[in-house]
Amino acid sequence: MSHNEPLPWDDDLERQAVHSPEWLGEDNRPQAEAISVASVWQMDSPETADDALAGKSGAYAYRRDGHPNERALAAKLAKMHAAERAILTAQGMSAIAAVALAVLRPGTTAWIGSELYGKSTKLFVNDLKSWGVVARTFDASDLQAVNALREGPADLVLIETMSNPRLRVPDIAAVANATHHAKGLLVVDNTFATHLLCQPLTLGADLVVESLGKQVNGHSDSMLGLVAVKDGGLASRIADIVSTFGMASSPLDCYLTHRGLMSLGLRVERACRNAAALAEALENVDTVSSVDYPGLHSHLQHELATQQLRGGYGWMLSFTLPIERGDVLKLFDCLRPDIPFVPSLGDINTTVSHPATTSHRGLTAAQRQLLGIEEGTIRVSCGAEPTQWLVDRFTTAIRHAFAST
């Protein structure tokens, strides 16, 4: 897809995002959603409290078990992900942890993509090891490795729609088929795509997790996680874990994320165009040794990405320069203040990050090398700036940084 073509995602998803929710059943609804900061609600009797805490009545009782801002946002996201239910958590990592705690037991096995966000890998390989959980890593974009998954044991499988930071694209349907053959559940971290570009549940995944504080919020002012679930019984177990372990969301973060959701389509459209244009431009810069972006024909999974994604190839890309850390600092200095170094992603402004010292700092140098993460690997989260300005800003900064080496 050219970055000049329109983005053909489902218009109804955008309409639902912009449409104001019903608020507390009022006939005369406010145009802007209200923030309900209550931590607890009054009850008419012990029976009403019992029904509320059991989830039978739909009434609110205690913020940890649900609140108006959480319920309004979760209801929208469940529809957008084609899920039976959506559960919100304090942040993306608590969403993944809640799923792991609900599904895994001592002696069970989790297969995780070899290239995940660093904390996700740490959770399964290091932290859950003390709980007796066995973790196996595999290349989710390699069909031979996916076929090996079929033989199990595999109680839980975690992959990313587009891997962090090299943007490799797994065949979600194929991984789902292999996971189910092994009697396991497939979880897809969809943070790099959101529901606009991919709905993993429609491709066979059992659960979707997202860090909503990234692109869905889009303004770096909230932290929130999502678990979208096909099965209502499993969703109830996860919601119980969220309550028991104190992983619940805050009203303010839900409000800010809900507001961001309403402009998500506009921001993603521009950000995808910018990423496509920047990736094409960087591929033609002599000093850039490689560019990772699914929209490029040179990307190993370009055809699969074209089939699996809709409306664009995402706003994330990475590129590698044959430089060491000191020269990386020079590049970041040349980009500042217009393009800041930020160890996160999904802002309305374009930002850059350095995987070797941020998202994947927990890996050894040898482990990073196996994943193709070098000192000169730069991850870019494209925002909504004018496209040509963004391209010029990067190419000029690279030229100046190399001129000073």
Per-residue pLDDT 10s for the chain (405 aa) are 454 555 666 777 777 777 655 555 556 677 788 999 999 999 999 999 999 988 889 999 999 999 999 999 999 999 999 999 999 999 999 999 999 999 999 999 999 999 999 899 999 999 999 999 999 999 999 999 999 999 999 999 999 999 999 999 999 999 999 999 999 999 999 999 999 999 999 999 999 999 999 999 999 999 999 999 999 999 999 999 999 999 999 999 999 999 999 999 999 999 999 999 999 999 999 999 999 999 999 999 999 999 999 989 999 999 999 988 888 899 999 999 999 999 999 999 999 999 888 777 777 777 777 777 888 899 999 999 999 999 999 999 999 888 755
Predicted local confidence at residue 283, as pLDDT: 97
Predicted local confidence at residue 5, as pLDDT: 57
User: Between helices 11-18 and 264-283, what is the axis angle to 10°?
Assistant: 130
Q: Output the six-digit token pair for 238.
A: 């996860």
Residues in the chain: 405
Q: Provide CB contacts within 8 A for 69, sequence distance 6+.
A: 33, 35, 36, 249, 251, 252, 254, 255, 258
- 3-class SS at 113? strand
How far is the C-alpha of 232 from the C-alpha of 301, rounded, in Å? 33
Q: Provide CB contacts within 8 A for 131, sequence distance 6+.
A: 104, 106
How far is the C-alpha of 397 from the C-alpha of 154, rounded, in Å? 46
Q: Cβ–Cβ contacts within 10 Å for residue 6, how many?
A: 9
Laid out side by side, the sheet with 156-160 consists of 85-89, 225-229, 207-211, 185-189, 156-160, 109-113, 134-138
Known active-site residue 255: no
Residue matched to tokens 């218009």? 11
Known active-site residue 127: no
How far is the C-alpha of 259 from the C-alpha of 264, rounded, in Å? 9
What is the number of alpha carbons within 13 Å of residue 82 lying toward its C-beta? 13
Side chain identity at residue 224, one-letter code: L
How far is the C-alpha of 311 from the C-alpha of 314, rounded, in Å? 9
Q: Say which of 189, 206, 253, 347 is annotated catalytic.
A: 189
Q: Say which of 117, 255, 293, 313 is annotated catalytic.
A: 117
Predicted local confidence at residue 9, as pLDDT: 64
Q: What is the distance, to the nearest Å, from the Cα of residue 233 to the centroid of all Cα atoms in its chain?
A: 24
Q: Output the six-digit token pair for 159.
A: 């992959």
Angle (nearest 5°) at CA 211 between 351 and 259 = 80
Known active-site residue 214: yes
What is the number of alpha carbons within 13 Å of residue 43 lying toward its C-beta? 16
Q: Say which of 29, 62, 64, 136 is annotated catalytic.
A: 64
φ/ψ of 306, rounded to 5, equals -65, -35
Q: Say which of 76, 168, 214, 393 is annotated catalytic.
A: 214
